[in-house]
Amino acid sequence: MRPYQYRIVRRAPVNMMGAAVSRTGSQEQLSTTVDGQPASDLEARFAKGLDIYRTAYAFRQRITGMAGQQKLTGAHANLAGELEIDFLVDAGQTVPVQIQGEIGHFYTPYQALNDEAKRELINAFGSQYGWHEVISVPFVELKDQESANNVVRRIIDGTYVARFAA
């Protein structure tokens, strides 16, 4: 008597790039850079919304309080004591905007504490210059260009309130 042999059924791997499985906004043509600097899809979508509303902004600006002088720098890597602000938006008042991506800002309590500390430091720095408080935009509000445009419009007209907590 021969031992039983199980029949092996081979299936083709699932096509993760096909039309049946697509990420929201996957048909968009987004740049991977904003002002010549690397950008996530969320940042590129937000920047495109700012461009649509013809709103002046600075991308990835750094602030530092080292050596008694606070200044914006163009360095690519953060120096000790330096913080990066995703966007400084000119909406009649300088508005610092932080884009809260899914992985970097929503998975750990540790990251939430870091984000809160960073917001406090940026707010303290900006208060010297009459800046608006930091606005944190969660990734779920930038799911497509229409949503991003809506967020930008509400930031510009001063009515933005995050619909989802970070």
Find the range with the poorest average confidence among 37-41, 92-96, 105-109, 145-149.
105-109
- Enumerate domains of the chain plus CATH numbers: 33-156 (3.40.960.10)
Which residues lie below 8 Å from residue 38, measured CB to CB, with a gap of 6+?
32
Nearest to 107 by CA among 39, 31, 19, 166: 166
Instruction: Give the whole-number percent of the chain exceeding pLDDT 70.
Output: 72
Please state whether beta strands 37-38 and 71-73 pair in parallel, antiparallel, or not at all (unpaired): unpaired
Tell me: pLDDT of 114 over 90: no
**pLDDT tier at 146, thresholds 50, 70, 90:** very high
Average pLDDT of the chain is 79
Q: What is the pLDDT of residue 82?
A: 76
